[in-house]
Structure 1
Amino acid sequence: MQKNNPRIVNAWCMYDWANSVHALVIVSSIFPVYFTATALSASGTPETDFFGFTIKSSVLFSYTVSLSFLITAALIPLCTAVADYTGSKKTFMKFFCYTGALSCMLLFFFTRDTLTFSILVFGLSLIGWSGSIVFYDSYLPEIATEDNFDRYSARGFSMGYLGSVLLLLFNLSMILFPKLYGITDKGTPARISFFTVGVWWILFAQIPFRYLPSGKKNSSVKQGNWIFNGFKELKKVYHDLHRQPYLAKFLSAFFIYTMGLRTVMYVATIFGATELKLPSQSLIITVLLIQLVGIIGSFSFAWLSGKIGNIYALMIGVAIWIGICTGAYYTTQAMEFYVLACTVGMVMGGIQSLSRATYSKLIPENTEDSASYFSFYDVSEKLAIVLGTFIYGVVEQLTGSMRNSILALLLIFVVGLILLSRIPSRKVYQYQPEKAK
């Protein structure tokens, strides 16, 4: 397939446009605010009954994220094995996409009476979203040359930010001015927002589904018990890391700093609502601001990597995250939270897009196992989210304070920065088999 084809690259980027509304509306803004207001005990405290257990609502949120990504991490090897054997990468991408989108639509029925069901559906939406990203990410080295990884990856994240902002603005208008839409019930605008996420996701996903290649059958996949071949491929990639020292070191650092970064994505709004008691509208507008700043951040880090190399650019981003966690621990005022939010926007998308591009540069060029390598990457990311959100929830549950959880994230970022410092930074990494002997 011809690489750097503008039509195919733009279609690939459109999946970021399609799915990022889940990350913004469901994960970061409207759903966490609605969840916090709904998951209350009879006395109005932030506790809820879940399968007979009374649990703090913010802890339940963290544990739901952890379990969802743990399930995804277990599913990925099986799915990539079947995709490799049958050449059906795009089919699996569709399956997870539609699973996640339909789950978002079911959240329209989220009320206090359907809390348990809605939590399960929320978890299913996370599985659908994260599962589709595995196959989406694996297309990058197939459709682009290495010198364009940073730029195209940043373009995808930026389109995701822009698309999700447009839908959030519409949803925000319903929440702030419900009478303009003939809505009288207070919770209905939020529930309609969840439904629109599913519709938007399915609608715009048709563009990449039309233009992206279906995938090719991996000629190296052997007959036999091939359904478990994905776990064998993960094991093979793990052993290959010993022959690719830069890739191994990067994955170690990536796993650690992703624990902190992605945990912040999932708990930032809950932190603002629970610890700082910020109004719902202020929290949602803050997340909107993060998205707009994130567009600038994605391209800024792509530009920075071209000047000083990917690793140094990532180190700067992680160092900023250490500062963010330090500031969050001492934050007591709304204005301080808004300043931190702008800083988060600058580094969040930039680090994510640059991490994906850096990994694409480090894997063997023209390998038939790109799906296996990205399966390993995504399993690592999902397990990092599992561990990060679990640590955050446990620390809060044991100490009773989210601020102590923030300190745990700070230490995680420090370790990630130390691990990144072990890798030499340069603009282009090339896999050299002769060095693997």
Structure 2
Amino acid sequence: MVPVSPSKSTGEILEVDGHEVRVSNPDKVVFPQPGLTKLDVVRYYLAVSEGALRGAGGRPMVLKRFVKGIGEEAFFQKRVPENHPDFVDTATLHYARGTSAEEAVIRDAAGLAWVVNLGCLDLNPHPVRAEDLDHPDELRVDLDPMPGVDWSQIVDVAMVAREVLDDVGLVGWPKTSGSRGLHILVRIVPQWDFKQVRLAAETLAREIENRAPGLATARWWKEERGESVFVDFNQNAKDRTVASAYSIRPLPDARVSTPMDWGEVAVRRPEGFTVATVLERFAEIGDPHAGIDDAVGTLDGLLRLAEELGPAEKPPRGSGTADGRRQSTMPLIEVARTKTKPEALAALDEWRSRHPSVVPLLHPADVLVDGMRGSSSLWYRVRVNLQHVPEAERPPQEHLLADYDPWAGKTWPGDGPQPGR
């Protein structure tokens, strides 16, 4: 990376692998706590580009752009900007709901710098290569802890996952998610479609739950998981993406989704991996996932196990609503729908203040604050599971404390503006 010019007043031009990349607003502070500027973030990604491209290079990606900083919600941009440089490739993805988008495909450090300049802090590639969009070459194991679960329990579940993978002839490569959880990446031969890969991932999750009951769960409905680690097999569904290796997450400490070797999993913690520490670590030891592309396996073992386990449990008959939607068996009430997470937490605090006698009876996993993916951004839904509250003491469903409509004003193909709910 060579600075070419200090900029014309709006940015700084860098020469990266023979390409010029402009960094706009290079002095803009992105992470106030460690004092990282936008240029610092670009330079971080260039320093770890070998590892970052191993995870995201050659794959179509959704651009998750934090144009207003980490204090505001990101917006998701599937379509690559029309004025993208010629060193950024594209691939047209066809989504499950019938739409399509031409997405960005980066292959070198210059492309990496370009997407970071757009405001992308974490990288969100699909589990397919641009050359074959129908057959994933990566199975993703997402260990997502419920509230109240500490790192030691995640470690236990990760070791069970490693054992199951080994039993079916696959090699897992662990990395922190960059938040509270852990990802295990598995390279596979690209010969199975998304439906088969998701079935394999669900089978893996069910077998982990079988071997670690109480510690791990494969239950998709959040209110049924308790204080356990959810093995999120749905991250392998078509159209899903996860933050790839070396992604910076939008947390105040500039935490990084960091590859580890298995010997580190039990002794390292996610908060120890930040931009500053990962820069030092990468310079010292390189990428622990350097061999991942040489450890390609097949799904034969997991698909055989799927046949042995039989179909996954379905909701019991009569548990759905009149419109066919699944109805929870848990005593859930909805508190609020909000545009931002701070608004969601404020609504939750307001609900707690109205029901002080109930609060001590709630377990950590009974409070559900879910980020819901909208058309281009997240919105938040707040619910409370009253399963641990005696029935006679349960507050009723009340008017929502906030009722944000993420679809209000959206224009749909062939229609005018929608009135919302």
Q: What's the TM-score once normalised by structure 1's chain length? A: 0.24
Higher strand share: 2
Higher helix share: 1
Q: What's the TM-score once normalised by structure 2's chain length? A: 0.25
**Greater RCO (CA < 8 Å, at least 6 residues apart):** 1
Larger Cα-atom Rg: 2
